[in-house]
Amino acid sequence: MIKIAPSILSADFAAMGDAVKKLKAQGADWVHFDVMDGNFVPNITFGPGMCQAIRPYTDLPIDVHLMVEHPSDWIEPFKKAGADVLTIHAESSERHLHRALQAIHAAGMQAGVVLNPATPIEACVHLLPECDLVLLMSVNPGFGGQSFIPETLVKIKKLREEIDRRGLSTLIEIDGGVNPETARLCIEAGANVLVAGSAVFKAPDPAAMIKALRCE
């Protein structure tokens, strides 16, 4: 069963509660929450305050993607703000990813590591037992509306083989440039969770788009 995680980065920031409230009825599985610090990536979005603000508007899991330096500093604030899933970048200033993943679990959230397009999957293979999910970026992080990088499919296939060979249940999440065409390729390669920002929020019928992204 493929999960669809609309990224509220592409929602109307002035009507965020309403946008989040609609997602469940539109068929979404998770709410993807892109945190950018203007340092790790060249953009700034929102933080725990926004997470806390939207929490009452949905009972879907909130999937927080930390595109920040020092991600460990934000584990407790996001737990308090109601986050369910927390992912941290392997390329961030966190030197002890394994410990950080354990800290996310200890705080009671699902934990995952994120790899940029340039980072080989070897950066996460020894972390897999600590990962509920691995997020593979299919664009360079920082902005919505970019084009899917096809080389990501090679990474998905390699990671899927590694997870299956070891009998693990780690989910593979894909983020960036996901539309009905690239969604199909990702699913065929072995992805489980698809993030979609502009595809969902710019669609005339978001519910139909979420259904199309499942490629059932």
Told to check if 28 binds ligand DX5 by CB under 6 A, we report: no
Separation CA 70–CA 91 (nearest Å): 11
Hey, which residues between 53 and 72 contact ligand DX5 (CB under 6 A)? 65
When CB distances to ligand DX5 are compared, the closest residue is: 197
Known active-site residue 34 = yes
Nearest residue to 81 (alpha-carbon basis) of 112, 47, 115 = 47
Tell me if 10 contacts ligand DX5 by CB under 6 A: yes
Please give the structure tokens belonging to residue 156.
């998905």
Q: Does 145 bind ligand DX5 (CB under 6 A)?
A: yes
Amino acid at 208: A
Q: What is the 3-state secondary structure (H, E, C) of 129-161?
A: HHCCEEEEECCCCCCCCCCCCCCHHHHHHHHHH
Rounded to the nearest whole angstrom, what is the least distance from the CB of residue 35 to Zn ion in the complex?
9
**Which residue among the candidates 63, 84, 132, 175 is catalytic per the annotation?**
175
Instruction: Draw the binding track, 179-198, toward ligand DX5 (x: CB under 6 A; -: no contact).
Output: ----------------xxxx
In whole angstroms, give the CA distance from residue 67 to residue 144: 13
- Residues 53-112 binding Zn ion (CB under 5 A) are 65
Total residues in contact with ligand DX5, by rule CB under 6 A: 21
Residues 16-35 that bind Zn ion (CB under 5 A): 34
Q: Is 175 a catalytic residue?
A: yes
Binding of ligand DX5 by 75 (CB under 6 A):
no
Q: Cβ 161 to ligand DX5, closest distance in Å?
A: 25
* Cα–chain center distance at 134: 9
Q: What are phi and psi of 28, to 5 degrees?
A: -70, 155
Contact letters (x/-) for Zn ion, 167-186, by CB under 5 A?
Answer: --------x-----------
Contacts of 181 (CB under 8 A, 6+ apart): none
Catalytic residue among 34, 37, 63, 84: 34
Closest CA to 199 of 6, 41, 2: 6
Q: How far apart are CA 129 and CA 81, in angstroms?
A: 26
Q: Which residues bind ligand DX5 (CB under 6 A)?
A: 7, 9-10, 32, 34, 65, 139, 141-142, 144-146, 175-178, 195-199
Give catalytic residue positions: 34, 175
Q: Which residues bind Zn ion (CB under 5 A)?
A: 34, 65, 175
